[in-house]
A = this chain, B = another copy of it.
Amino acid sequence: MSPARARTSRGDIVAAARDMLEDGGLEAVSMAGVAVRVGVRPPSLYKHFRDRNELIGAVATDVALELGRTFEDAVARCGPSPADRVRALATAYRGMALARPRATALLFAAISPDATPSAESQAAAARPILAAADAIVGPAQALAAARVLTAFAHGFTSMEAAGAFRFGGDVEEAYLLGVAVLLAGLERATSGDEVSRP
């Protein structure tokens, strides 16, 4: 009558799926493959996750939490000015996006509403960016400025990881140019000069 002892756990399964994602892409994360990896049969996984999308969502949450910690570290080590902070966050994001491109891509992949990082994990990753944006443009524009910075960093690194920059040129220089241009524009947006609007 002793109930079957758990032979795996949510954490084990997520870790296995994340490894397989980074090795072979999302399509390499099969329930059968994950089951082999954690030493169990495929149906058992459904005792821990409703379906594959929920498992992918748990992986995405794990990635978002790691990104949040990476951001905290970067802020702790960088120079004191708001611009220093933005540059440190941008560099940290690109570092993670290049080191673990498929995990990072999952943050904004939109495969399914279920395969999405949890709201809390997203907030944890967004917080350092919002704080830096606030320090530059003030509270009224902080959200918009954070979105602009995140969009640039995500867009640039996902294009870079996808091999979209094929016309030569220095890719890292273009990234740093983008960060510098955004900083210059954002600082100007809140100084006496008005940013030109359509």
Contact = CB atoms under 8 A, between A and B. Distances in A.
A147 B151 contact: no
Contact of A166 (B119, B159, B184): B119
Contacts of A144: 169-170, 173-174, 177-178
**Majority DSSP secondary structure for residues of A touching B:** helix
A170 to B, nearest CB: 8
B110 A161 contact: yes
Interface string A103-145: 0010011110100100100100010000000000000010111
B147 A154 contact: no
Interface stretch (A2-10, A37-45, A67-75, A185-193): A185-193
B162 A110 contact: yes
A195 B166 contact: no
A116, A122, A169 pick with most chain B CB within 10 angstroms: A169
A151 B159 contact: yes
Contacts of A183: 185, 195-196
In the complex, the 8 A-B pairs of residues with the closest C-beta atoms, listed nearest first: A155-B155, A181-B185, A110-B162, A185-B185, A151-B156, A148-B178, A151-B155, A144-B174
Interface of A: 25, 83, 87, 105, 108-111, 113, 116, 119, 122, 126, 141, 143-145, 147-148, 150-156, 158-159, 161-171, 173-174, 176-178, 180-186, 188-189, 195-198
